[in-house]
Each structure stands twice: as C-alpha cells, then as structure tokens.
Amino acid sequence: MESKKIGVVLPVYGVEDYLDECLGSVVGQTYKNLEIILVDDGSKDNCPAMCDAWAQKDSRVRVIHQQNGGLSNARNQGYRNFSGGGVDYIIFIDSDDVLHPEMLATLAKALDEHPDVDAAFCGFTEMTQDGHILPKQNNHIQDKCVDHITAAKNVLSMGSFYGVMVWNKLFRRTLLDNYPDFDESIWYGEDSPWTTQVLRKARNVYLSSEILYYYRKRPGSITHGNVFNKRRLDEYRGLQRMVEFAEDYNDESLLQLTQVRFYIYGSGIWRMAYLHGEKEISRKMAHELNYSRKVWLAQCGIPAWRNRRLWVDKLMEWKFPKALVHLLDTI
C-alpha cells in the first residue's frame, strides 16, 4: 500500500532530446503515489512546451517556469513548491537520466520498513548518449542499514557504488526540512557538499544492492569537459566545503576520505587552471592541495621521503613547464 507520497524534483534545461525518455521512466514507476515538479530553468529549446504537455496528460505533474538560475536554484524552487505537508519522501532527478521501473518502490519500501532510517540509496550505472546501458557489477554488495558515518564513508570513497550524487537517493522530508538549501553560488559539483552536510544528521541509511538509476553520459552536459571556467572553480569550492562539512562528523577516517577526494579531483581542476593560464588561481590551489596530497600519499603507503619525487614525476608526465615544477617543489 502506497500511503506515503514521494515528491520528485526534476530541473529541466536544454534536454529536449532526452526529456520524454526521462519523464516516461518517472511517471511509469510501479510506485504511483507521486508529486512531480518540473522546474523549467529558462530552457531555450522545446523543453518548456514539453513540460507543459506532460502536465496536461498526467495530473501528478506540475511545472514551474523561471529564468535560468542554475541547477541548485531549480532544485530549491522545486522543493519549496510541494503542496503543504503532503509529501513524505523527496528525490532529486536529473532530466536526461532514466530510472528503473522499480526504483522508487524499492527505496520507499526501505524507508517504510525502517522507521529509524532517514535515507535510502541504490546503485547506479552509466548509459551512453543514445541510451545504451553499460553493465556494472555490484561486487557482492548486500542490502543493509548503516549509521550516518558509515553511509558517508560509502558515498565519499573513490569509486563508490552509490556515489556522492543526489539523484539515486530518497530522503525523508523530515530530514531535509532541517537543512539549508542547495548552495546557489555553486553551479557545478553542488552534490558533494550538500550530501555530506545532510548525512551528518541522518539517523541511519539504507543501502540497496540493486542498480536502479541510469546516468546518461553526454558531451553537452555540465558534468563533462576539460576546460577551466567559472563552473570548474565552483566545483573546487564545493570540494572545499565538502571537507569542511566532513570535519563536523568528528571521525578521522571519514575526514581522510574527503581529503583524498579533494586532492584527486582538486588536482585535476588545478591542472586545468594552470593550462588555461590562471597562474594566481593555480598557485593558490597548489598550496591548498598540499595537505590533502600528504594524506593521499600516506594512505597509499608511500614513505614521506618519496613524496616530492613522485609529485615532480607526475608533473613531468603531464609535460608541465619547468617553472611550475620548481614552484611545486618548493611547497
């Protein structure tokens, strides 16, 4: 019996080629008690009309049209516009992705059966631009309930089965009502700080072994590309905030995980910044990444006396100018 209503927030921008497939997978869920809010974030293609068409043929769908404010703003607007207190569970979906028909039923059942669980996660896999789902193994993962620290470690670990993204996670509304909105100053990489912050107050989390979310990897999305721009800088700031929120857990091993994540992803952004000619920004990043680099090398079991040599060797692999090698060798 579907006594609990799930609120689905779905920001929409520039995805006319994928929107119908995404929405078809949402309205076609075996779990029917849904309230679906489409936030047209000033899309310049046919998405506004497509959203309105879906609202006309399915009473569970409502549309908000607004000027472009970014993904975080669109998510916030959708969350604020649910009807009163009628929504019990919340999920944020990306509008070019696809859900397995049983995804919401599986996650809602976990929350229904475990009153002390505040969120339920499922596995995900990638799909190609044309919709081909890439195979992925669950590595013998079993369904289980864990405390919030264990859950945070699961999502923040490199290569996580669940990932730090929000779209494969169903939350109790009572958990989210006590938290700040998505940071609207961050247009790219907003999921990692938000998820880290929200999980800190979760009582327990259900981890499903099933792969039920299909993430579309496409060249035009905001999560791909090797060009340094404001969005990359926003992502770097998001990683910094993720580390700050991890400090609130008072768990050293979790903090080390976030430091490693910050170093690995942050180093890639730093490299883009330098190659783009942003010398002052890249210099500042290099100093900020220095501590996280030491944590990463220590976790790899590399002796301290080898750290600098490995760092320089990596730079040589990237064929960086000698000046940059000298700069980093003096950190």
HEC-encoded secondary structure of 249-294? CCCHHHHHHHHHHHHHHHHHHHHHHHHCCCHHHHHHHHHHHHHHHH
Q: CA–CA separation, 283 vs 74, rounded Å?
A: 34
pLDDT of res. 276: 87
Q: CA–CA separation, 128 vs 130, rounded Å?
A: 5
Local structure of 145: helix, strand or coil: strand
* Strands 89-92 and 6-12, sheet pairing: parallel
Domain boundary among 216, 244, 265: 216
Q: Does 185 lie in the same domain as 262? A: no
Q: Does 146 lie in the same domain as 28? A: yes
Domain boundary among 161, 190, 216: 216
* Strands 34-41 and 61-66, sheet pairing: parallel
Of residues 22, 30, 24, the one with CA closest to residue 6: 30
Domain boundary among 181, 216, 251: 216
Q: Return the residue matching tokens 């590595």.
A: 139
**In total, how many domains does the chain have?**
2
| Domain of 88, in residue numbers | 6-216
Name the residue type at position 118. D
pTM assigned to the model: 0.86
Q: Does 240 lie in the same domain as 211? A: no
CA atoms within 13 A on the CB side of 61: 20
Q: Is residue 221 part of a domain?
A: no
Q: CA–CA separation, 90 vs 321, rounded Å?
A: 49
Q: Does 182 lie in the same domain as 61? A: yes
Q: Does 235 lie in the same domain as 155? A: no
Main-chain dihedrals φ then ψ at residue 302, nearest 5 degrees: -90, 125
Q: CA–CA separation, 139 vs 329, rounded Å?
A: 40
Q: What angle do CA 39, 225, 308 make, to 5 degrees?
A: 125
Which portions of the chain are predicted below pLDDT 70? 1, 83-84, 220-226, 296, 299-331
pLDDT of res. 262: 87
pLDDT of res. 218: 78
Q: Is residue 224 part of a domain?
A: no
107: domain CATH number is 3.90.550.10
Q: Is residue 277 part of a domain?
A: yes
Q: Does 142 lie in the same domain as 26? A: yes
Q: CA–CA separation, 282 vs 280, rounded Å?
A: 5
128-143 as b/e, with b when 16 or more CB fall inside 10 Å?
eeeeeeeeeeeeebee
Q: Is residue 297 part of a domain?
A: yes
Q: CA–CA separation, 3 vs 33, rounded Å?
A: 8
pLDDT of res. 314: 55
Q: Does 208 lie in the same domain as 102? A: yes
pLDDT of res. 322: 41
Q: Does 276 lie in the same domain as 200? A: no
pLDDT of res. 310: 57
Q: Is residue 200 part of a domain?
A: yes
Q: Does 194 lie in the same domain as 96? A: yes
Q: Does 206 lie in the same domain as 241? A: no
What residues does 172 pair with on adjacent strands? Answer: 89
Q: Does 39 lie in the same domain as 96? A: yes
Residue 329: CB atoms within 10 A of its CB come to 12
Q: Is residue 322 part of a domain?
A: yes
Packing angle between helix 252-275 and helix 148-156, nearest 10 degrees?
A: 30
Residue 212 tokens, joined: 């039920």
Q: Is residue 110 part of a domain?
A: yes
Q: Is residue 223 part of a domain?
A: no
pLDDT of res. 292: 79
Q: Does 320 lie in the same domain as 270? A: yes
- Cβ atoms of 114 and 6 within 8 Å: the answer is no
